[in-house]
Chains A and B, each alone.
Chain A
Amino acid sequence: MDDLLAELRTWLSDALPKWKAKWNGDTSWDALCDWQRMMAEGKWATASWPVEYGGRGLGTMDVLAIEDVVAASGAPQIPGMIGLKNVAPTLMKFGNDEQRKSVVRIGSTDEVWCQGFSEPGAGSDLANVRASGRLEGDEFVINGQKVWTSNGMHASHMQLLARTNPDAPKHKGISAITLSMKTPGVEVRPIKQINGGAEFAEVFFTDVRVPVANLLGPLHEGWMVTMTTLGHERAGVAVFAGRLEQRIRGLIEDVAKGDTRISPVVADELAEMYVEARVLGAMARQMLNKIAQGGTPSSEQSVIKMVWSELSQRVDTVVMGLAGVEGVTGDNHAAALGYLSARSATIAAGTSDIVKNIIGDRVLGLPRD
């Protein structure tokens, strides 16, 4: 592992300045994609992928170590995370020859993928998807609407969930289908978020025809395929937790060093957050250790997701509070942006209420309502 990280540091010390010189402070989508392309060529962005897909075939712990080094180097965010972490592993597992060709292009950002799961009527109740994929001859005819599609505005392709059997029970009649966003009948509209950005979009489908070959995994088994996708980033939540712990440590160091007087109440709030961050960090490390030893974490994921989302929201609330009036005058834009953006932590990828339902139903075996 040490050799690997040394190789990475050498690579970064060469690549990062080159990228910075080329883009000169520009952090546009194109600039970020260029960075991902370099990271994929170096086989760093794709380190977890098998060698035949241009990866290094590394395990979770090595990949996390790589991500830590990359993050510490001040490198920009990788834009195609959904493709790298969720879609590509699903394509490798369920895709046919043609679909698997996309994997390499996902690494290089020649293709940018989004996940079209949620709909206006299917959010927490995801199995309620209504977008229809009617089988006509050797084509699916897709009609309906997707919403909250992250990367929707930049995406070239989508992994879509559509109802292919309207007569089957909820979870049984859904299929996963891949398609190009340029297919006639696909219309993408940006959705402006509370933080002013437009990272997600809504996508409309009107008589969109795609070949049956675009089916991903078995027919009507889209629910299973999707759950596998969502399960791929098992370690992801632990990584978020570790970063949050670091962030809270950093925030407290800054406050301690700064010369703004804080009230005893705020000092206690910070100490309370510190305690929770340390406990969350311990939980995350223990989960990663379990993975490193070949174990499969189960309920830890849900617990860490729940604790992480609430604590990360709280940090931004405290930062906003520390900013005082500057938080609302635009003088401390970062604090306000952080605060607004943090609202999504308890909504995206399963709301906190739903996570509590999952723990209650599946972990504790409580009766469903």
Chain B
Amino acid sequence: MFKKDISPGAKSKVKSSVQRTIRQKVLDTYPLLEPYIEDILPKKEQLDLVKLPDRVSLYVLNGTPLFFQHMDDALLPHLALVHRYPNAFSRLRIDRGAIRFVLSGATLMAPGLTSPGGRLPGDPADTEGRYGKEDLEPGTPVVIEAEGKDTACMVGVLKMGTGEMKKVKKGQACEAGHYLGDGLWTLAL
């Protein structure tokens, strides 16, 4: 979505009623954020909306980008937010070999997740349950972590359910929404 460098468009204040709606939407999509929501989206502080190219809206609080949204699609977290609250999102892990493809903006393919270095929900090798137990449906927003790394490198929406991935082990797994080093990451606000 942000393969090219972008520059921010018009910035406007979000009305408090809209701000409440956004807060609720965030909680509906990411229920695990509940304990931190007052820190992330304080009720009393002014949220700003920055327009980005291709009908993407970016929500910014005091200069810190929090969530972005293409038209009326799901609100997706900015990676800097993911890095602060990594456990509040559904996560998957790619193997080391897939990292450089993801960082160049390629669509994530299933083998990067199903190989031994990858992790999908319910993986027996995932003893701490970091990647969850329940399979995820297509259309679910996910955070992509990487083998041997602590921090996430991508945020996207699943094109294929994780159950399906385990079965077919090929095809497009996840649309590249936002990845480390892309236009959104390097955006100067």
Q: Do the two chains bind?
A: no
Chain B residues proximal to chain A, CB less than 8 Å: none
